[in-house]
Amino acid sequence: MTRIEAARRRASGAKQIAVAAAAAGFLATLLLARASHPGQAATSPSSRAGSQSRMQSSSSDDTFDYGSASVAPSSSSSSQAQTGVS
């Protein structure tokens, strides 16, 4: 095998690797795009079961559920907690 033939083989091998890598990258991007869409929330499990269940109950997109607070008037002049701008 001449040096030119060896160089051609190496070049051909590198080209095949590059094509395969590009195809794999394209496929991965395609799968990622198909698996998600703008504004879609993660379905990843939370590290805390409690927060996960709460987030699922106030879930996704345009059907987001704000829930409703249970509130009542108070005549107390002293508060236990304060809401305000932080």
Partner 1 sequence: MSPELRAFPAMGVEVAVCGASDDELISVRRLFDEWERVFSRFRPESELNRVNRDASRVVVLSRLFAHAVGAGLRAAAATGGLVDPTLGAAVEAAGYDRDFALLDDDERPLGPASRGRWGSLRLSGRLLSRPPGTVLDLNGVVKSLAVDSALELISGDGFVAAGGDVAVRGGAVIGLPGEGTLRLLAGGIATSGTTKRRWRRGGSFQHHLIDPRTGRPAESRWDEVTVAAGSCFGADIAAKAAFLLSDEGPAWLDERGLPGRFRTGAELVANRGWNETLGELVAA
Binding site for partner 1 (CB under 8 A): 29, 32-33, 35-48, 50-52, 54-55, 58-62, 64-86
User: Minimum Å distance from CB 19 to partner 1?
Assistant: 20
CA pseudo-torsion sign 72, 76, 81, 85: positive
Give the Cα separation of 44 and 51 in Å (integer): 12
Nearer to partner 1, 1 or 33 (CB): 33
Contact in structure between 21 and 27 (CB atoms under 8 Å): no
User: Minimum Å distance from CB 31 to partner 1?
Assistant: 9
User: Minimum Å distance from CB 25 to partner 1?
Assistant: 10
Nearer to partner 1, 2 or 83 (CB): 83
Give the Cα separation of 38 and 61 in Å (integer): 10
φ/ψ of residue 64, rounded to 5 = -55, 135
Nearer to partner 1, 2 or 70 (CB): 70
